[in-house]
Chains A and B, each alone.
Chain A
Amino acid sequence: MLEWIGLLPAFPLAGFLALVLTRGKLPRRIAGVIGVGSVGLSFALAAAITVEFLGSDALSHTQVLWTWMSVGNFTPGFSFYLDGLTVVMLLIISGVGFLIHLYSTGFMADDPGFARFFSYMNLFVASMLVLVLADNLVLLYLGWEGVGLCSYLLIGFWYDNPANGYAARKAFVVTRVGDTSMAIGLFLLFQQLGTLNIQEILTLAPQQWSEGSGMVVAASALLLGGAVGKSAQLPLQTWLPDAMAGPTPISALIHAATMVTAGVYLIARTHVLFELAPSVQILVAFVGLATLLMAGFTALTQRDIKRILAYSTVSQIGYMFLALGVGAWSAAIFHLMTHAFFKALLFLAAGTVILSLHHEHDIFRMGGMRKKLPVAFWSFVIGSAALTALPFTSGFYSKDAILLAALEQPQYGTLLWLGGVLGAFLTAIYSFRLVFVAFFGDDHTQDAHAHHSDDHGHDDHHHGPVKEITGFVMAAPLVILGILSLVGGFITVPVDSVFGVHEEHHASTLVHGFMIAVPIFGVLISYLLYSGAPQGRVLQQWLKSMRESAFGGGLTRFWFSGWGMDALYNLLFVKPFVALAQLNRKDLIDQFYGLLVELARISNRAIVLTQTGYLRWYAISLIGGLVLVIGIGVWA
């Protein structure tokens, strides 16, 4: 089975080709079967390979398909590398991917771009599989850029609305900034080590570099740049909330479960480099911490159901970075997996809500959906519980591991731990705020529409009666993901051999108790604040008065805008670039040559004056010249 590893990305790629070459002429049913089936085949194969790989004693397996290019010492192959980490990623990508594909056949059923949608999705899965299978950084970069491209295409899937196009371009360009940093990191690694094969790098790096030497710091910092861009961490996190312009299954697959965690994968994959550069590693932790807090506060103020989830994604990836930063590699991967389950669940449930409410995104125009949308409601409850890390849900185990590892960090352990706990508290508030506002209280769907956020660009705002849209294809993935979100915490990720350590964290009962209590306390506060419960009237009044005060209002707006990062970048980069470009639209250099031409033209006008057209004048000039020449000849 292991030698069939090359087929993993080949199935979705074939699906992509089939859908593209038929150019949407296929009937929807067949297109759907191709789109879903190809990923399903990949999943089946991945499962079989996993069983075989875990059953064998081998720690890794390398499969060379062909030599990509061979230039001097630079010989990256089209070759795949399989180990415990890869296996986990493969299963997440193909498994969650398959469920989301299945869900999409229902969600996108009426969309004119049905086949186009599935072709991009298949291409995405293929690229993502290449990313995690790659045995060298160049091939990884191929997958890395490939998923970025698919992300661009899918965010801008409903292309007739320019806002979607803007979001898509923003996503691509911002991540490209990170990608470029990563590319430079690749150049540096190759120059220093003479190879870009990941395993060789991991072996050579400790031999070549001492801990904390300049080169390894530079290389790992550059790789971190790439990871930060892809995983929407500070300071390149601004694209992810806007990326919610894409269809909701996209947000689930790309912007929650798989692609945005590629940065985590990259750092975990090259963990040796980061271990050699402790300053960068602690930077990773602080990037994660800052991001998770910033995104947590922002999520508190959002109204758009998908933006709340987007900021929570940013925040959760912040946890993974925190884990990476403190060297808890397997905890990071574990959280990556559980996050894939519950965040996909949340997004898909949000998709159901949005579709059932005729593309309503604002949670304050929902309310009381508990009875009308039972499937979505229960999905949300389970997902939010896991997200909040309530005891015995999957999120509990993974977040617990991360926080305990953070506490063990020798230098900044307490600080990191406290930050993480504060983040967990925020997570509890904003995730249950969503649940309480959207599913409890009164029905606000018939409220007058002052503004509407509509991700379809369709103009059908006549709101019919609310009826939950769940066929089998949409309900089944929710159920499966719900179960996984609950019990996923009992899965062990087989990555110990990859990172060479078995992580076990022990802490006092007090710490444990505190970490269990904080989320529960958060949920309670959220209940009092947002469910309209009479017991929380005092708190609600306080919140209202805070929001109306100058400071509180300003803070709310500041958080709402994502800490003003968009405006800042606009001011720092976008506006100067555009202004400069517009200023020099005509090309200064060209104008310089234009000046030369103008000079020639002026001198021409001067000389032309001598051209009178009179024969006499010419003859006299001729004689004058003659006299001059003879004069010089005779007397000079």
Chain B
Amino acid sequence: MILLFYLAGAVALIATISVIVSTNVVHALVYLIISLLAVAVIFFVLGAPFAAMLEAIVYAGAIMVLFLFVMMMLNLGQATEDEEKAWLRPQLWVGPGLLILVLLVQLVNVLVTQQVDVVPVEVGVRELSVLLFGPWLLAVELASMLLLAGLIAAYHLAKK
């Protein structure tokens, strides 16, 4: 299991880096799907099968497909790809890269202070549902409102 965790982690990391350095949108999207699926595996390993399922279905499935459709609508061709290559100059990366390195160091510094091992306990769909529609009901309602708002906004924005 541990092996699976590290393996999936490595896949997720490599796929993610590929996303941000890729010049082709569709390639990048495929790498992103791989990264998401890898994370889904990690969820599974961590004892959250429901989350893993949702990650695979909603994230990697629905959302990424949405991306794909939009890419098709935009129909970005070779010109865009050349442009991307021109934009990906190393000197652009230096400043943000350094800053973010500092951030990463800070984050890791914060995170490694506690040495606790996790023994994954599987949380089933049933428990989750009880929680969701129990104490978290208000959050669910809010989420539904958010989705509705997103729906309406997207409809308006994409309209001609």
Give A residues with C-beta under 8 Å from B: 620, 623-624, 626-627, 630-631, 634
* Residues of A contacting B107 in the complex (Cβ-Cβ under 8 angstroms): 630
Cβ–Cβ contact B102 & A634, under 8 A: no
Q: A620 CA to B100 CA in the complex, in Å?
A: 9
Shortest CB–CB separation between residue B100 and chain A, in angstroms? 7
CB <8 Å contact, A624 and B99:
yes
Query: B157 → chain A, closest Cβ, in Å?
Result: 18
Known A620-B95, A620-B96; judge A626-B110 contact (CB<8 A): no
Q: Identify the closest chain A residue to B109 (Cβ).
A: A634
Cα–Cα, bound, A513→B24 (Å): 133
A627 touches B96 (CB 8 A): no
Contacts of A620 in B (CB 8 A): 95-96, 99
- A620–B95 Cα distance when bound, in Å, is 9
B56-107 residues at the A interface, CB under 8 angstroms: 95-96, 99-100, 102-103, 106-107
5 pairs, CB–CB < 8 Å, chain A vs chain B: A624-B99, A627-B99, A630-B103, A630-B106, A631-B106
Q: Which residues of B contact A634 (CB under 8 A)?
A: 106, 109-110
Chain A hits for B103, CB < 8 A:
623, 626-627, 630
Residues of B within 8 A of A624 (CB): 99
Which residues in B have some Cβ–Cβ distance to A below 8 Å?
95-96, 99-100, 102-103, 106-107, 109-110
A630 and B106 alpha carbons, distance in the complex (Å): 7
Residue in B99, B106, B110 with the greatest tally of chain A CB atoms within 10 Å: B106
Q: In the bound complex, how far is the Cα of B104 from the Cα of A626, in angstroms? A: 12
**Cα distance A95–B107 in the bound complex, in angstroms:** 107
Taking A620-B99, A627-B106 as given, write out 18 further A-B residue pairs in contact, using a Cβ cutoff of 8 Å, ordered by the A residue number: A620-B95, A620-B96, A623-B96, A623-B100, A623-B103, A624-B99, A626-B103, A627-B99, A627-B102, A627-B103, A630-B103, A630-B106, A630-B107, A630-B110, A631-B102, A634-B106, A634-B109, A634-B110
B119 CB → nearest A CB, Å: 29
Contact residues of B: prevailing secondary structure: helix
CA separation between A630 and B109, bound complex, in Å? 11
In the assembled complex, the Cα of A631 lies from the Cα of B110 at a distance in Å of 10
Closest to A626 in B: B103
A-B pairs, 3 with minimum CB distance: A630-B106, A627-B103, A627-B102
C-alpha gap A627/B100 in the complex (Å): 8
Complex: A626 Cα to B110 Cα, angstroms: 14
CA distance A627 to B109 in the complex (A): 13
User: How far apart sit A622 and B103, CA to CA, in the bound complex (Å)?
Assistant: 12
Separation of A631 and B107 alpha carbons in the complex (Å): 10
- By a CB distance below 8 angstroms, the chain B residues around A626 are 103
Separation in Å of the B105 CB from the closest CB of chain A? 10
Whether B99 and A623, one on each chain, are in contact in the complex, defined by CB atoms closer than 8 angstroms, is: yes
Chain A residues with Cβ below 8 Å from B100 are 623
* B109 proximity list for chain A (CB < 8 A): 634
Residue of A nearest to B100 (CB): A623
Query: What are the residues of chain A within 8 A of B102 when measuring CB–CB?
Result: 627, 631
Residue of B nearest to A629 (CB): B106
Q: Which residues of B contact A627 (CB under 8 A)?
A: 99, 102-103, 106
User: In the complex, A350 Cα to B99 Cα: how many Å?
Assistant: 101
Chain A: minimal CB distance from B137 (Å): 33
Q: Which residues of B contact A631 (CB under 8 A)?
A: 102, 106
Within the complex, what minimum Cβ distance (angstroms) separates B102 from chain A?
Answer: 5
CA distance A133 to B159 in the complex (A): 91
Q: How far is the CA of A624 from the CA of B96 in the complex (A)?
A: 9
With both beta carbons as reference points, the residue of chain B lying nearest to A631 in the complex is identified as B106
- B92 and chain A: residue at smallest CB distance: A616
Closest to B95 in A: A620
Q: Which residues of the other chain, B, contact A623 by a CB distance below 8 angstroms?
A: 96, 99-100, 103
* Closest CB in chain A relative to B155 CB, distance in Å: 25
Nearest CB in chain B: distance from A581 CB, A: 61
